[in-house]
Structure 1
Amino acid sequence: MASSAKRALSGCENSLHARELSKRNVARRSRTVQSLREKRGVTSDNVYLKWRRNLAALEKWEAVNHNKTGILNYSPATSEYDVFAADTSCILTPTVTDGPYYVWGELVRENVKEDVYSDGVDVFLEIQYIDINTCTAVPGALVDIWQANATGVYSGISESGNYAADGWDSTYLRGIQQTDQDGVVTFDTIFPGHYEGRATHTHLLTHLNATLLPNNTLEVDTGSVAHIGQLFWNEVLRSAVEDTYPYTTNTQSVTTNAEDMWAKTQADSAYDPFPEYIYLGDHLDDGLFAWIQIGINASADYTDNSYYSIAAYYDADGGHENSDSSAMGSGSVPSGTNSTVPSASASASTAA
């Protein structure tokens, strides 16, 4: 499917619309980075630190990126086009499982960090959705994001394998944003932590024609699910991040991208699952700006697909387990989990 979509794009990827969209992407990303640097008081001359990659199979990416290629240092005189024009593959992005921890009903918000359980390396993430049928942006899509915190624990789920502090009512590192006219959503989040059995990743799920309620949530079972995906992060960046606190308190075993079944599913010779990124300053403490393009088939609907599973719902009464979800095991909630901070060993080795 990805290869067919790539061929279909050949007739429109160099269109005037596509070229103009690319120009706007460069300008927007440059403005975003300058704004983030100003907000954080970053004044170093070492403006752009960027990991450059070749498009190849996952194993080759890892070998090239981590064993042969170094970080490229850009000077303030470097053209913004050289840094921000790199778009990821605008082909049909492979769809994979949403895993056992998807929660319907999260708040529409850009900043998904909360006062607790959200410490880590700041990541300002830009995701752009392109319809592979037309090479045009997808405005009005509602995009879910969710990920583990620095110690490898997801919010919103208090179940065997993932006992979140504050239990089913917790919402940290989850949220929804709507794409703008250029198909772009942005999230203010952190670099995700790892947990046993999975490579470090970020979940995304895309709704089209869903109903946005006055209380800033989505109406249940409305619209289509046009894409389910996971973003992966290269090992050089992951290792650098996990040398910092609080990632250093995570005692779970690390799974590499090459060892992860879903990373290999997402990546092939035609699709790069790793976001582009730059350091905002000299150090990770200054945060990261990362971006990726995702190609979707706007007419597709994965609502009835086995990859789509709702583990819990979040509404005015708080979080509730979805007892009909096959992903959640027994459905029992251990007593005492709401008041305890999750340990680094609490995540499931089989969680996706």
Structure 2
Amino acid sequence: MGIKNLLSSLLLAAPLVLAHPGKEEIHAHRALPLERKSLDHCEKHFSDPEFVTRTVEIHGREFARLRRELGLETEESPKLKPRDYISVSRIDHKSNKTVTKGMDLSNLFSDAGACMLMPAVDQGPLYVKGEQVRKDITEKEPGIKMTLAIQVVDYKTCKAVPNAYVDIWSSNSTGIYTGVQGYPGMGDPKDASILKLTALRGIQPTDDHGVAAFDGLLPGHYEGRATHIHAIVYLGATKQANNTITGGKAAHVGQLYFDQSLLTAVNKITPYVGNKQAVTLNTADFLFMQGANGDDPIVRYALVGKTLADGVFAWIRFGINQNANKPVSPAAFMGPSGGVMNPNGPVAQLQRGGFGGGGFGFGKRDAAQHEDEKARE
């Protein structure tokens, strides 16, 4: 085996991915095996006029709502009608169409991205299970408003997956996650009130065209990871009377990203400009490298108004394997009286100095030793 092929094999096999580092030690994700199933066979289905029309109607309805809220559209507006990681990072995912009142948005939304099965990675150490089913997850957090539309399709049949539940979570404008106590860099580790916070976390069901939409914010950056949003797609879950979901299986666990040019512009706007944590570029993030080698996990987007500060509409398509059942290890559980840390979760195991059970909890020395051991195998 040549040196180049050997290095490539070692990189793909390496289980450690730097993520959510603390000040005194660096903790790690361990990526799950990537599934490589091309969706090239879906091209005809995705370009079918009826499929495109439905996608445009759903995304267009959300987009028009956001523009109406800015006073740029009226209710009487006409109804809407019908990859390696370096190359992916160079794609400009911003729509080049000029958005005008009453325009036909079919070209704007026809490209939903995700030409392959979205790769599965660990859910990260800051997942909270038991969040509310709700569309608006901002909770008055400051930042640039972003409505995110995620379409879920089956990678084998190319058909939309209705009645799934999409669970998302991300950091706020200053790179802080709510809802988890005791993780380095995420607030006072002794402050139990953090467990009651739920901003920028929520769940939405997919409609009959496989689309779930959230009103949130563009997330802020933090040291060690490229700016991203986490997502889990649950199949077979049941919505309860308390507006949460139970049961089902996690058919997809992944992350989505943003154009570096968009993030650069975002970081010049208040309150993001006050975030002094180091920026990690997409191309320096190992999980992005894995996800973007053959796929495109960056959202497409359009400005809702004339400026970035007016808000963003973003959309992406997830190709999932409905037979998959991914492991999920929450850091905490949200209950009627607030959150409770999971004693067997990644953060709890990290605090005990353990392995973490899901690729978490490595210190610098442990991570380096583990990498050396894997390289010798």
The corresponding residue for 1:141 is: 164
Aligned counterparts of 2:89 and 2:363: Cα–Cα separation in 1: 23
CA contact (8 A) 2:95 2:302 kept: no
Structure 2 CA distance for aligned equivalents of residues 136 and 124 of structure 1: 23
Q: Does 1:122 align with 2:149?
A: no
Tell me how far 1:63 sits from its aligned partner.
Answer: 3.7
Separation in 2 of the partners of 1:232 and 1:64? Answer: 12
| Pair 1:21–1:349, CA change in 2 (3 A) | farther
CA distance, structure 2, for counterparts of residue 167 and residue 245 of structure 1? 24
Q: In structure 2, the residue corresponding to 1:26 is in which secondary structure?
A: helix
What is aligned with 1:293? 317
Deviation for aligned residue 1:71: 7.6
The equivalent of 2:76 in structure 1 is none
Aligned equivalent of 1:237: 262
Structure 2 CA distance, aligned partners of 1:207 and 1:170? 23
- 1:310 counterpart residue number: 330
Amino acid of the residue matched to residue 20 of structure 1?
E
Partner residue in 1 for 2:178: 155
The letter of the residue matching 2:187 is: Y
CA deviations 1:42-90 (Å, max 9, x no partner) are 37xxxxxxxxxxxx32212334549xxx983526396522222112124
Structure-1 residue corresponding to 2:16? none
Aligned residues: 308
Aligned partner of 1:325: which letter?
G
1:121-145 Cα distance to aligned partner (Å, 9 max, x none): 0001100000112111111111111
Correspondence list, 1:315-326, <5 A: 315-326=335-346
1:126·1:185 contact (CA, 8 Å) conserved in 2? yes
Q: Which residue of 2 aligns with 1:183?
A: 210
Among candidates 348, 351, 354, match of residue 330 of structure 1: 351
Partner of 1:248: 273
In structure 2, the partner of 1:341 is none
Bigger CA radius of gyration: 2
Does residue 239 of structure 2 align to residue 212 of structure 1? yes
Map Cα deviations across residues 11-37 of structure 1 (whole Å, 9 max, x no partner).
x54249954222211232223222210
Question: Residue 103 of structure 1 is aligned with which of 116, 124, 128?
Answer: 128
TM-score (norm: length of structure 1) = 0.81
Match of 1:282 in 2: 306
Q: 1:231-289 CA deviation, whole Å, 9 max, x = no partner?
A: 111110001111111111111000000000111111123x1111110001111121000
Distance 1:72 1:223 in 2: 40
Identity %: 36
1:300 to 1:146, Cα distance in 2 relative to 1, 3 A? same
C-alpha distance after superposition, 1:151-172 (max 9, x if no partner): 1100101213122773111111
Deviation for aligned residue 1:97: 1.2
Q: Which residue of 1 aligns with 2:59?
A: 29
CA distance in 1, matches of 2:183, 2:97: 45
Whether the aligned pair in 2 keeps the contact of 1:140 and 1:181 (CA below 8 Å) is yes
Matched residue, 1:339: none
**Contact 1:90–1:132 (Cα < 8 Å) also in 2:** no
Task: State the Cα deviation string for residues 166-189 of structure 1 (Å, max 9, x = none).
Answer: 311111110011111111100000
**Cα distance change of structure 1 residues 349 and 276 upon mapping to structure 2, 3 Å threshold:** farther
CA RMSD of aligned residues (A): 2.6
Q: Aligned partners of 1:322, 1:316: CA distance in 2, in Å?
A: 15
Mapped contact 2:46–2:158 kept (Cα < 8 A):
no
Which residue identity does 2:106 align to in structure 1? Answer: Y
Between the aligned partners of 1:154 and 1:290, the Cα distance in structure 2 is 21
CA distance in structure 2 between the partners assigned to 1:196 and 1:153 by the alignment: 11
